[in-house]
Structure 1
């Protein structure tokens, strides 16, 4: 996209994405800077924009969960003044045609990690869900976020003293960010490693020079995640400390609440910071052949 086109898309997204107030421009900008192994496009009509992508499969012999024939609809936004005139449908069909040209045999309205806007369609964006189903998309999975209130107690001072006595140091990543990303890739996957490397904030714990756990925020603008603790360090309470440090940093950046994206362990986040399950996403797919 040219700078002017990017600015136009950001303006449309800011106006249309009412459930993501203030994030539209940041989402367009993030999706326009994906990992190197991703092909992407942004297509526009007057008052509307769609962004789509496909991830290349790595060389034979490497481990990957990428699917070479699956394309993704990453973002669809139509300005409120232009809604109800068929622009959304036209944009989706144009994105599908681009995906076919790239070799896709299936299109998904689902998050394409590590660089994504949402896990799927927020059920409250009902018009988007109706559009997907009218075009023959099948709802095949459900994902959810949790919301953490950042106005409460996020202190970790006592925990840090306890960990220090156990020889564990908790730090914010700086020049050592790539070392933390390498730890993430080793213990989890390259997708989380990319998110750690590109996050706004990254915190980690180590003992005797060995990294034990990490937590990140802002890889997806304004959201928390991912985070993880190596098996050998579980039970030390590192996850709670790193989570709270990240959330406190998000509060300092001006957020009153934070989305914990694509959640698995509901109980952990509920107990650690009183987070509540709140935002639900439907994942859709449709064969293009």
Structure 2
């Protein structure tokens, strides 16, 4: 076995990391630009958390650990939580303890920072995938279980072909019915933005508000954001192109809990899909929903199909002498 060297990231390692990533994880390739944007330029990036293994100067393994240095909202740094967004080892060097050593170093880094809970891989804002695809990476799932990670839940990714899509007549009729009741459905204007971001943060998830804000700053057209109001009060929204500027990527999407059961989500979803088709897009997709949740049922009713399933996992870091 080759003599191994372990160390943290140093500037210039990124090209070899991306090269090995694409060899080791061929179903989920990444570009250097995406790696820079999602990892190196992340405000929470700490080189000590990006652990690397080398054999005779050749990169053979990588494991990334991250914790919050900047809050998602307010001042909350989630001081007990840390994340492992990705790990991989060169094929011919697997089952030699390299992955375990890298993971133990990553977990030690998080433990030294006072973290008690470690999640794979539900890190916001810059997750690559929401969890582990056990079907595509069966060995990776076995590896995580041996290290004490347990599945919390399954996130479903869904896709829809927009070829031949047209706004259904029943949705047109529903829009007219709701408009007669005081609802409006429009693309966003500058006057909507402050309320929209606050609504997304408070009613749903701070990552959604961030996605809207940063998406617009990076050039997301307001014409890709739809808002629903009832007598001038914002009650729902949806958009596409908010994550990484990918126009086919749908979401985030939400309706005020007090307003559900009226078909508002169905209206917003179809208006957005109709707009996407008008832009010439051939498909819509997203990475994360509960397959049996109300949203999951809505997506299926429209024709979305599950394309992948991801296990969101958690491990608790127990202090020495405690159980």
TM-score bucket of the superposed structures, by smaller chain: 0.7 to 0.9
1:144 partner SS: strand
Moved more, 70-79 or 221-230: 221-230
1:108–1:188 Cα change, 3 Å: closer
Whole-Å Cα distance in 1 between the matches of residues 33 and 63 of structure 2?
13
Shift of 1:261: 0.8
Shift of 1:287: 1.9
Larger radius of gyration: 2
Whole-Å Cα distance in 2 between the matches of residues 249 and 3 of structure 1?
42
Which of 57, 66, 89 in structure 2 is aligned with 1:53?
Answer: 66
Give 2:28's aligned residue: 20
TM-score by length of 2: 0.69
Shift of 1:16: 2.9
Whole-Å Cα distance in 2 between the matches of residues 90 and 175 of structure 1?
52
Give 2:52's aligned residue: 44
1:112-131 matches, cutoff 5 A:
112-124=123-135, 125-131=137-143
Give 1:261's aligned residue: 288
Whole-Å Cα distance in 2 between the matches of residues 224 and 260 of structure 1?
9
Whole-Å Cα distance in 1 between the matches of residues 276 and 87 of structure 2?
27
Shift of 1:173: 6.3
* Mapped contact 1:204–1:211 kept (Cα < 8 A): yes
1:1-289 matches, cutoff 5 A:
4-21=12-29, 26=34, 29-34=37-42, 38=44, 40=46, 41-45=49-53, 46-55=59-68, 67-80=78-91, 83-124=94-135, 125-134=137-146, 136-156=147-167, 159=171, 162=176, 168-172=184-188, 177-199=193-215, 202-206=225-229, 209-217=232-240, 223-231=249-257, 233-247=259-273, 256=283, 258-263=285-290, 264-265=293-294, 266-271=296-301, 273-282=302-311, 283-289=313-319
Whole-Å Cα distance in 1 between the matches of residues 308 and 41 of structure 2?
26
Q: C-alpha offsets along residues 94-128 of structure 1, whole Å, 9 cap, x if unaligned? A: 21122122222333323123432233211121121
1:155–1:254 Cα change, 3 Å: closer
Whole-Å Cα distance in 1 between the matches of residues 191 and 10 of structure 2?
32
Q: C-alpha offsets along residues 31-90 of structure 1, whole Å, 9 cap, x if unaligned? A: 4444x5x454433331433222113697xxx796x7422211011133556555544333
1:261 partner SS: strand
TM-score by length of 1: 0.75
Whole-Å Cα distance in 2 between the matches of residues 232 and 13 of structure 1?
44
Equivalent residue pairs, number = 281
1:149 partner SS: strand
Structure 1: where are the runs of 5+ without partners? none
The alignment's C-alpha RMSD in Å is: 3.8
